[in-house]
Amino acid sequence: MSGRPLQHDDGVVLTPEQRRRQRARSVAIALVLAALVVLFYAVTLVKLGPGVMNRPL
C-alpha cells in the first residue's frame, strides 16, 4: 500500500489513518447496534415470561 491518500468520487481525500479510524468507528457502531438487539430480545423474553417458548405452533 502506498502512502498516497485515497480518493473518492465526491472529491473527499482520506489518509490511510483516517480510513483506519473510520473503519474502527463503523465496527464500534455495529457492535453497539448488535448489543442493543440482544438487549431488546432479552428484555422481551423476560417481559413475556418463560411460557412464550412452550406454546403450540
What is the phi/psi pair of residue 7, to 5°?
A: -110, 145
pTM: 0.64
**pLDDT confidence tier of residue 5, bands split at 50, 70 and 90:** low
Which of the pair, 28 or 50, is modelled with greater confidence? 28
- Kindly tell me if the per-residue pLDDT of 1 is higher than 70: no
Residue spans of the domains in the chain: they are: 6-49
Q: Can you give the pLDDT at residue 4?
A: 64
Identify the pLDDT of residue 2.
58
Q: How does pLDDT run across 28-48, given as a tens digit for each residue? A: 999 999 999 999 999 988 888
**Predicted local confidence at residue 6, as pLDDT:** 62
Half-sphere exposure of residue 14, counting CA atoms within 13 Å on the CB side? Answer: 11
- Give the integer Cα–Cα distance in Å for 45 and 27: 27
